[in-house]
Structure 1
Amino acid sequence: MFTQYDPESAALTNELRNQFDAFIAGGWDADMLASHQTRRLREVLTYVRANSPFYRERLAGITDADVSALRIDDLRSVPFTTKDDLRKAQLDILSRPVSDAWVFYETTGTTGAATPCPRTNGDTIHNNTVLTAYYRDVLAAHGGDQVIGISGPTELHATGDTFGDVCRNLGHAVAKMWPHSPVIGFERALEVMRLLPVTGLFCTPGMAMRLAQKAVEEGLDPRRDFSLDVLMLTGELMSPSLLENIGVLWGAEARNALYASQEASVLAAATSDGALRTAPLINLYEVIDPETLEPVRPDTDGVRYGELVVTNLYSGAKPLIRYRTGDMVRMTDPAPGAAVPAPAVEAVGRVRDRLLLNGHLVNGYDLEDLLLRRFRGYQDYQITVARDDRGRDLLSLTLKADPDHHRDDIAPAAGDCLDALDTPLTVGFGTPGPITSTGAMVSWKAARVVDLRTDPSAENSSAECIAATRA
């Protein structure tokens, strides 16, 4: 492999592999982890202050003495970094020149200026070690003779490279195919999936449903005519209801595989106990109230609910310090027997994607889970929000499914919605159209929700433009 031709990368690979093996086996206690995080935090702060023009200015008020004495509990004294900061700073956010990276990625730029995301060898090794260590048992449950499909864009995006490298680490063959590409297309992608056959698939939830829809249109049965054992889903909001539905569509295990971003890289990954678990050896995590910016305390169930803030603990091309992800999460400390002794995290939607319905503020994850709870076997869905003459909010759900299979589910679904949100729900059947496929490029809300109470946003316009090219 490449690392054997680069002594520094080979040494780092061995070091991290040994660290993660010991950590997963329970060989790190709380003091050891805190010591590691504190040391790496100080090193990264020193590194970005010396090398990043943006952080040299942003952290000018912090002295060398401050850094050398900084503890994890003192992190609140360090300023946040935001998405707007990344958009404005562009290459000035980097701590290494692009020429020191092995690859250049960037964000999609569909909802604002694209931001540069180059990766050094060290960046890739740190993040892919997490996925390799966490996915080993997940994929091993389905045997060793696997062909893994990766359905994601490779141009200026990390999806294909990352999952391809991780599968190679684990000894699995890979087929990269992007059905929206004019070279591949859905027909050829489905043909390849049957021919090889593909036994595992990394893709977005929307892509998993769109592939099933296209298969049915070609007279195929996703459950009978394909050989998928496991779908590793990422890139979009994914409630338990949607996840279970995708598993039903394909007759396969469907997993929420990864919580990550182009900017901040790997934040949490699937483990064999079914949870998404954080990577505390390479990141430091905070959960804050998005309004007050104060740390959130655990509730009576031990869950911290708020906006995720992350600090990278490795010195690569672009380590981020106290980066406000803009994502609402639920984070829970690991219980005894967890597959990996790291907190579990549920990403429940962007802060700005929350909806106020008849006085109830609800995130996308909980709304999707609530509305889809009673239905299985649909190939797509869309939510519409309206308001009646009396000022009461109304919801309607459109499913691409056989209505005869769901007539008995409609009344219970409407009752669930009225009980939880004091909001009437109607359910209809039809084809939402290509806009629902744009969630990974834009946002869950722009792709899945038609809110008739407000004027279309810039994200709505971006989603419409992308959808027009996919129609």
Structure 2
Amino acid sequence: MNKTQTNQEWLKIVTAYLNRQTNLQELNEKGELRTQEILGYVQEQSPFYRDHLHTKAGSQSAFKALDGVAFTTKSDLRSANTSICSVPFDEIAMYYETTGTTGKPTPCPRALIDVETSGAYVQNAMKEVYQSTFGTMRALTAIMGPSELYSFGDTYGEVCRNLGIPFVRLWPESPRVGLEKAAELITDLGVRSLICSPAVALALARFYKSIGIDPQKTSVGQILVLGELCTPEMLSNISRVWDAHCTHGLYGSQEVHAVATGCPEGNLHLSETNYIAEILPNNGTNSDMGELCLTMLVPGAKPLIRFRTGDLAYLYPSSFCKCGSQSRCIRIFGRVDDVMTIGGRQMFPASIESAIFKAVDRVLGYQVNVKVAKNGTDELEIAIVSQVGDQSIDQIEGQIAGDFGVPVRLLLSDQLDPQTETGAYISWKHARIRDCRLTP
């Protein structure tokens, strides 16, 4: 089968699933065969995998074809560089790189088959969300992403064109744009939908308030968030701040594309045809929660085998969500490396964020510093940008302290430092939570 035929065949597989002509059970029945096919593909096409799959032993897997197959780590990606790719660069559709927030940037080329099979899920999700919110695709949308070497803008730009959604690209970190210009254009053009990180959504709201404009009075009626951890409490908080429908855009990365896409109900649904998802046990966590490990089934430019994403995740059955999707739901709880012990209790990034938003209404930004108190116990210093209203500082501190089991000191602020403002562009952990106990 040549590349054109392979592309067409895979598009048929994805389209049939999205149109409910096939179901999850039928995909699972063919999962082993497709896994064997992608293993053969990378062994033949990728210099890295030609050796890697034979030189290391991986753990057991519920999927027979993957049992004992070596994991692929972020360290492997950095050291392998272009040798991990399965297609010559003259044959790719476009080239991207990781942002390099956790180490050396790694190449992320995409073949046409990658773009189309991943984009199909994003397009299907956007169509459902826009129809639910606006009843039409004719809603001017601001695509607010980090850089030209990141796939964000291309992915959403292409989907908007396909669906007839008018859009404008506003990069808040660009020296030609910035928050002031972005806010000005949102107001002047009557932008109705934003696609951005939670940090950017909150930074924009803070900017509007700083110039005397209530973000709830703007034309924005919908916000799709992506790029960093976003708990259900954060979604609700952004919705209240903007008085707009807020849901996930997608969950994924430069390396693995659109792993899951959002829905009107605020959940993320796995792109079932394109991945085998494993949950690897993580010490100290719920047995059903663990590190998300992905095998990419689409024979594109850089399919990864048993890739350890570094993200803590939990998979729910599709019945968990009321939107009607037949794909399983996935919830992300933060980075494995970001889990910390506070007051003798293990805390996930998601649980830290949730505790803050449960205690304070309409937060425009937050930052947590974990410190050692004078008596040697742990304590939390939490800076927030918020008008706490009728709540007293003592009440808020007491509620959060009850969740963490350690003393809490709440600091009200007008703005946060630049690292927190940029959110996922730097690193979620750097931006939101700092473990000052590690500093000498």
1:283, CA displacement in angstroms? 0.5
Q: Deviation of residue 339 (structure 1)? A: 1.9
Change over 3 Å in CA distance of 1:251–1:130 after alignment to 2: same
Query: How big is each residue's C-alpha offset from its partner over 1:170-216, in whole Å with a ceiling of 9 and x where there is no partner?
Result: 22111111022111222221121112211111000000011111122
- Extract unaligned runs of 5+ from structure 2: none
Q: Is the 8 A contact 2:11 2:116 kept in 1?
A: no
Other-structure match for 1:104:
95
TM alignment of 1:180-329, pairs within 5 A:
180-224=173-217, 226-291=218-283, 304-329=288-313
The counterpart of 1:376, out of the listed 361, 366, 371, is 361
- Mapped contact 1:382–1:449 kept (Cα < 8 A): yes
Pair 1:366-2:351 in alignment:
yes
* Partner Cα separation in structure 1 for residue 409 and residue 156 of structure 2: 40
Contact persistence 1:179–1:185 (CA under 8 A): yes
1:20 matches 2:17:
yes
The more displaced of 443-452 and 49-58 is 443-452
State the Cα deviation string for residues 68-115 of structure 1 (Å, max 9, x = none).
xx9923423111000000000000110011211111100011321110
Which residue of structure 1 aligns with residue 325 of structure 2?
Answer: 340
Residue 136 of structure 1 pairs with residue 130 of structure 2: no
Q: Distance in 2 between matches of 1:369 and 1:236?
A: 14
Paired residues, what number?
Answer: 430
Contact kept, 8 Å, 2:261 with 2:269, in 1: the verdict is yes
Aligned to 1:448: 432
Could you tell which deviates more after superposition, 393-402 or 84-93?
393-402
Question: Aligned pair 1:34/2:32, yes or no?
Answer: no
What is residue 459 of structure 1 aligned with on the other side? none
Provide the rounded CA distance (Å) in 2 between the counterparts of 1:90 and 1:172.
37
- Alpha-carbon distance between aligned partners in 1 of 2:10 and 2:272, rounded to the nearest angstrom: 17
SS in 2 for 1:89: helix
- Preserved CA contact (<8 Å) 1:16 1:126: no
Which residue number corresponds to residue 51 of structure 2? Answer: 57
Cα distance in structure 2, aligned partners of 1:221 and 1:416:
28
Whether contact under 8 Å (1:364, 1:444) holds in the other structure is: no
Are residues 1:175 and 2:168 paired?
yes
Equivalent position amino acid for 1:362 in 2: M
TM-score, normalised to structure 2's length? 0.91
Report what 1:415 is aligned to.
398
**Cα gap change, 1:17/1:289 in structure 2, threshold over 3 Å: closer, same or farther?**
closer
Distance 2:300 2:65 in 1: 23
Give the drift of 1:437.
Answer: 2.4
Deviation at 1:397, TM superposition (A): 1.4
Q: Could you report, residue by residue, the CA deviation over 1:192-243 in whole angstroms, capped at 9, with x for unpaired residues?
A: 111221111100000001111112222222111x211110000011122222
Separation of aligned partners in 2, 1:437 and 1:417: 23
Q: Deviations over 1:336-384 (max 9, x none)?
A: 8652122211111101111210111111011110122122223211111
Distance 1:14 1:57 in 2: 30
The answer as to 2:386 corresponding to 1:401 is yes
| Preserved CA contact (<8 Å) 2:35 2:66 | no
Q: Choose the corresponding residue for 1:387, options 372, 375, 387.
A: 372
| Stretch moving more, 415-424 or 346-355 | 415-424
Of the structure 1 ranges 147-156 and 45-54, higher mean CA displacement relative to structure 2 is found in 147-156
2:39 equivalent in structure 1: 45
User: 1:108 aligns to what SS in structure 2?
Assistant: coil
Q: Secondary structure at the match of 1:320?
A: coil
Cα distance between partner residues in 1 of 2:100 and 2:146: 14
Compared CA separation, residues 251 and 338, structure 1 to 2 (3 A): closer
Deviates more, 1:416-425 or 1:116-125: 416-425
Distance 1:399 1:29, change over 3 A: closer
Structure 1: tracts of 5 or more residues without a match: 1-5, 63-69, 457-471
Distance (Å, rounded) in 2 between the aligned partners of 1:398 and 1:406? 18
CA gap 1:29/1:247 in 2 versus in 1, 3 angstroms: closer
Partner Cα distance (1:240, 1:406) in 2? 24
Work out whether residues 146 and 425 of structure 2, in 8 Å CA contact, stay in contact via their aligned partners in 1. Answer: no
Query: How big is the shift at 1:326?
Result: 0.4
Report if the CA contact (8 A) 2:370-2:435 is conserved. Answer: yes
In structure 2, distance between residues paired with 1:437 and 1:200: 21
AA in 1 matched with 2:179: F
**Which residue does 2:118 correspond to in 1?**
127
